[in-house]
Structure 1
Amino acid sequence: MLSKTPFRSGFVSIIGRPNVGKSTLLNRILGEKIVITSDKPQTTRNRIQGIHNLPGAQIVFIDTPGIHHARSRLNKFMVEEALSSIREVDLVMLLVEANRAPGDQEREIAGLLPSVNVPVFLVVNKIDLIDPDILAERLTAYAELFPFREVVPVSAETGENVERLVEVVRDTLPEGPVYFPDDILTDLPERFIVAEIVREKVFRLTRDEIPYSTAVEVDSFREREDGGLVSISATITVERDSQKGIIIGRKGAMLKQIGSEARLEIERLLDTKVFLELFVRVRRDWSENPNILKELGYR
């Protein structure tokens, strides 16, 4: 009698310095956008789980904040989110950039890996931005940082070699159960994703320190009884009056643009019409206040 192919499952942490493409890679693997992205570092603040189902396997990828030298309480929370993830998973993927030679940040992160008791992959992203000959040199240089189980070059932006990465991850995971239903992409509540979408628009549309001084809370999320509309109210929190003025903009133009772009994306997410109302408030130095951080979900 033929033995049944074992079902494989597990949790996979994606770590790396800020802005290397962790969120873009997770969205590419899932085939849907569940994690916000921008060209600014430190966009991701929380650990975010994306669930990828395959024939005979379920992989739970964990997108983490970038590992960096943290100064504020908020940033220290973000780094701890990333570091704690490598202690609770079945496989770790260190993501680096092909168009950047190994530097102090990569060496410091690699220095954390000897304490990891699970397989560690090196995933070299952005191979579409570099000459193949230079890529070969970079792969060699990065591979010397740690005895990685696998070295996989990919482009999260174009999707090149991402399918192979997923296959190698699947084949490395242990036998295990189905952790989540096969019809969901994340265990995050819709309210969290909606708040993140609004925050992403702030990141993309504002400049300088404004994105980093911003948090978003969904105050209400109501569906009409006839199912024709979802009404959402959210508050954007900043640290200074001057930042509030920038978020609102001249005659409310910036806040209107943030709301318009966010609403369109939320409608695609929820597959229904949305009424989105945004407010802006000042809570001075909230990113250094442990009580406010806890209230905003950065525990």
Structure 2
Amino acid sequence: MPDFQQLAKNKILLWSLILTITILWGYAWVVMKASLEFMGPFTFSAFRFGTGTLTLFLILFLVRMGPPPKKYWKHLAVIGFLQTAVVFLAVMFALKFVEAGKSSVLLYSMPMWSSLLAAKFLGEKLNKYKIIGLAIGMVGLLTILGWDIWMKQNLQVIFGELLIVFAAVAWGVSNIYYRIHVTNLPQLQVSAWQMLFGTMAIILATVIMEWGEPVAFTPVSIFYVLFTGVFASAICFTVWFIIISYIDMVTATISTLLVPIFGLLLGYLILDEALTASILIGSGLVIIGIIIAQKKMPVRDKIAE
């Protein structure tokens, strides 16, 4: 294995990698939306994560990392079902009705749900920063959805937006489940095996829901599958797991907020999606809320609690 210790010392390289990954993940939202012109949402997810799984297992082979102990397989299956199957089946279906930029912001509300779930199931305290951050983030979500959500918006759009919020909650649940059951496994190994199990569920859903539907294989659609499967899923996650081994999780969580920013910007530039005032204000509130929620309590405040 290469000596990745040098990565931690080279801040310019480290943050260049973070910026590159978040741009690629932001662009992935544009690609996911555009892919619906060529195939169904479940079919695309099956091709994407099938390709991603094969790539990750090739990486595991190259670094000589074998399978995890069998006692962890059921936990990895649960994580794969939640984090890969439920999240991306819900997101891809919702993208039929919701713009890519807005979708990315809604899904990346996940840290708020993780904070609530961590308080409930991990015994982590909801300090004043988390409470304020969650409140601001919820206001931001409502602003994105539209305060007149139940009166003037298209019902399909409302359904899609709520489906993405559901996906964000499922992602948060998978994070808590991971913390409880498999934190002692290598993260690359977890990523590969949970994606394998999740892909199995996605293929099953595709066979049930979209069997026989047309699929257009063109240079563009093949690029979409390869980009999201190889680059946005397998390679980006592999590099990301290396990065988070050398930076604190608060910094890592906050840096992922660049993804919906790039998602909004690229959706506007490439797909000609609207950047309304409510989307911009709501997105800003969500990002501010998550940053505040990740803020550490001063030592004196912790002692006073």
- TM-score by structure 1 length? 0.24
**Which structure would you say has the larger RCO, counting Cα contacts within 8 Å and 6 or more residues apart?**
2
User: Between Structure 1 and Structure 2, whose CA radius of gyration is higher?
Assistant: 1
Q: Normalized per residue, which structure has more helix?
A: 2
Q: Normalized per residue, which structure has more strand?
A: 1
- TM-score by structure 2 length? 0.24
